[in-house]
Every structure is written in structure tokens, then in C-alpha cells.
Amino acid sequence: MPEDSEPPYFNLRPHDFGSDFVWGVSTAAYQIEGAHDIYDKGASIWDRFVSKKGTIFQGQDGRISCDFYHRYKEDILLMKAMNISHFRFSLSWARIFPDGIGKVSEEGIAFYNRVIDFCLECAITPWITLYHWDLPQVLEEKGGWTNRDILGWFETYIKLCAERFGDRVKQWIVLNEPMVFTGAGYFLGVHAPGRKGLKNFLPAVHHAVLCQALGGRILRKTIPEASIGSTFSCSQITPFSDRSKDIRAAQKADALLNRLFIEPSLGMGYPTESVPILKRIEKYQKPEDLENSSFDFDFIGIQNYTREVVRHSYTVPYLRAKIVKATRRKVKTTLMDWEVYPPSIYAMIAKFNAYTGIKKILVTENGASFEDQVRNGEIADRARTEYLQAHLEQIHKAQNDGLKVSGYFVWTLTDNFEWAEGYRPRFGLVHVEFTSQKRTLKASGKWYGYFLGLGKELRCI
């Protein structure tokens, strides 16, 4: 192995985080599965969105991606070899219900049963995310998340998943990062389905909030012994200066990016005092919605990659706040132009600990994309190893300071389709050569395996 790929010294061990601490990796269906039209699978909004010119880097798509559909055993065996004992993956709604609701695809059900059963055979605990951004296209054509009927569609979908998989799967996540799929997909239009404006964003937000709680209630009723959560994207928000305008701008950005979905789930309603434009959600509310927005989750997942620096801007409507790009601030960045700032994860753990009513917190995504160097068949990615170690140090510091955090999932196992960025950014612990589908463990993946194995020799397959 090249010298610069040797893992840097790390003085922590898994047992330092507690005997019940959960260690895993996270993935998402559209980003890894491929097999986009096999058997009777229906199209998702991402299947449609990638076909639109100019939406994805170099016109790429996830129709094959990592071909996890056919190679799931290979990837799960890699996890086993790396001492990874928890695997978070999502279900493709359109693979299970090709038409959104109605006819059930037994082929789709069978595929996920195979994945679940093989995880258990390998002593890996499956964690299912029910919605990771890939709504069936037929439902989008009926309004998607802007249509209140989605509560009924979502109920049908979740009931079936709970009934078919709940006998073996006990760890469930309702939504993945609802702020991202509503903001990027229904306000900015840079993600599927490509809608823009408040008229789409506000109803999508409200219906996602209601579905988040509804999903929790359905899972609790169907699988009483289940551990149920939902995940939230979050970033430390820092004002660009100590000017009062920049401070207010940062407070608004924090309310929108970090508080919009967690607070309704806790019965606190929307943060309208910080973002008055959110009061327009009242147009889509019914009298019972405040109560129906809350659910007593067993855990929440926080997903942190960076921090954001925010300044006041007259040109940004509604918020009057603008993110100052990391490259303009001349700080160390990842390939996504995200600042490498490990204290952000500590700040987010502290922020969510401050809420009354949150029982347990896990970091359900954290990782980085750097320019991996392939040399003589080895992938030297020291920067990724250092990134992961620095964030784990912050998590351990949070524990020592009395903050609750009880799990860590790396994003992600294999390089994959990174939404609008296509295949350019690689987040994986495992390198994928997408033409041949060859998997190669990166130096960071080897380090994570050694770390989880308490320094034992990494098992090879």
C-alpha cells in the first residue's frame, strides 16, 4: 500500500463509545440498486428526472449504478469482512408498488426479502428507510408531495412494508432528510421532481411532516416491538460576521435547515417566529394537523457533513439570507465544496440534545468525497480516513460532555450515484469501477474494518 494511504494514528476504540453503540453504513435504493425496469418495477421520480437534459452531471443516471440488485450478496459479504454489523438501506416504493398503490410486485418483495435474510445470515442488522426520495412517478403525476392524498398513498405503502418485513426487521426509519427532498425537489427544482416555488414547497413540507408522524404510528401499531425513527439533515449555521443583519440571517437559515421538521414532530409546530413566510402553511392545514404532526419516536437520526456560513442578502426572497460558499472563504473543502469542519457534528448533537422529548440520537449519515488516488490497484484516500476520525473524535467528546449519541453510520459503503452530481463525487469506503462493477476496498474502508475489529486482522473474501 502507498505510504500516504497508511491510516493516521487514532487513539479511540469502539468500546470507548459504549458497549451498546451502533456501528454501520448507510445507502439508498436509487443510488445503488440499478435494475431500474426489471420485472414489473415502476418508474420513480428519479427515473424520470435523470432523463431531462441538463439536470445531472454529464447526463448520467442511476439505471445501473452499483447493480446492488444483482450484487447484494457481494456487498453484504464485504460488510461482514469489514466487521460492519448494521446496514441501513432504503426500499424503492416503485419496486414494491409499480403503480404507487394497488398492485403489489411480488418480485420486488422477494428482492428485499433476499437482502434482509442474507443480512441476518451474515449477522448484520438491517435498518430500513421507508422513503429515501424516490416517489413513484405515477403519484407525482397526481401532485406527489403537494397532494394531501399522499397521506393515504403513504399509509398503504408503509402498512404493506411493515406486514411483509416486520417479522425480521426491527429498526425502521420513516423519512430520509425531508428538508432536502422538499427543498431541492419542490422549491429549488435541482432534484427530482424538479418543481420550484413556495406553491410547491409549502404543501410538500406540510404533507411530509404529517407522513413522518403517520408512518411512525403505523409502524408502532403493526410492529409493536420495533424501534422507530426518522432522519434529519443538519449543519451548524454560523453568521458571516457579528453584524446584526448577518446574525438574523443565520437564525433564519437555522430555522429552515435544522428546525423545520424536528419541531413539528415534537408537538412544537413550525418555527414561524424565525421564518414568518412559513405561516402560509396554514392554507394547507386542517384543525387536527398540529396533533397529527407529532409522534414519539424511539430515536432520531442526524445527518451532518459540514457547517454553513450565512450572511444577509437583499436579493434572496423570503429569507434575506445567503450561504457563503466554502471555496470563497478559502477553507479546506471536499469535492462537494463542503467545508471540512468536524466541530459541526458536535454542535448538532448538542442542538438536538437540547430538545425535550428526544429519547435517543444516532448519527445516521456522515462521510466525505475526496479525489481518490488509484495506484497499483490500491486506493489511497487518507483525507477520508482523517475526516471520519475527526468526526468520531467530536462524537466521543460529545459523549464525554454528557450529550446522548449512540450510533454512527458512514455514508456510504460503495461509491454510487450522487443525485444531481452523478458519479463525480465518490463517498464510498469501497471503490466501484462502474463499467466492470469491480469492487476495491479503499484505505479508508480498510481502516474502518480494522477499527471495528478492535485492531484484528481484516477478514478478506
Q: Which residues 6+ apart lie within 8 Å of 183 measured at CB?
A: 201
225 in a structural domain? yes
461 in a structural domain? no
**Of 178, 170, 171, which Cα lies nearest the Cα of 154?**
178
Count of C-beta atoms within a 10 Å radius of residue 251: 18
114 in a structural domain? yes
Residue 373's pLDDT is what?
A: 84
**Of 133, 137, 130, which Cα lies nearest the Cα of 156?**
130
Catalytic residue among 263, 339, 365, 386: 365
What is the total count of domains within the chain?
1
**Structure pTM?**
0.97
Residue 457's pLDDT is what?
A: 57
**Dihedral sign, Cα of residue 451, residue 229, residue 128, residue 92:** negative
Residue 4's pLDDT is what?
A: 56
Q: Give SS3 for 125.
A: strand
Q: How many residues does the chain have?
A: 461
Quickly tell me which residue has 404533507 as its cell. Answer: 207
459 in a structural domain? no
The answer to whether residue 421 is catalytic is no
Quickly tell me which residue has 443583519 as its cell. Answer: 245
The answer to whether residue 365 is catalytic is yes
234 in a structural domain? yes
227 in a structural domain? yes
176 in a structural domain? yes
Q: Please state, in angstroms and rounded to a whole number, the distance separating the CA atoms of residues 360 and 405.
A: 7
Give the single-character DSSP code of 66: T
CATH of the domain at 184: 3.20.20.80
E strand or H helix at 433: strand 430-433
Q: Please state, in angstroms and rounded to a whole number, the distance separating the CA atoms of residues 173 and 295.
A: 13
Catalytic residue among 33, 140, 177, 418: 177
Q: pLDDT below 70 — which residues of the chain?
A: 1-5, 455-461
Q: Which residues 6+ apart lie within 8 Å of 275 measured at CB?
A: 252, 255, 256, 318, 319
**Of 446, 407, 308, 433, which Cα lies nearest the Cα of 85?**
407
Q: DSSP letters of 84-121?
A: --EEEEE--HHHH-TTSSSS--HHHHHHHHHHHHHHHH
* Cα 3 to the center of its chain, rounded Å: 33
Q: DSSP letters of 133-165?
A: S--BHHHHTTTGGGSTTHHHHHHHHHHHHHHHH
Q: Which domain holds residue 312?
A: 3-452
The per-residue pLDDT for range 194-236, each reduced to its tens digit, is 999 999 999 999 999 999 999 999 999 999 999 999 999 999 9
- Bridge-based pairing state of the strands 86-90 and 125-131: parallel
120 in a structural domain? yes
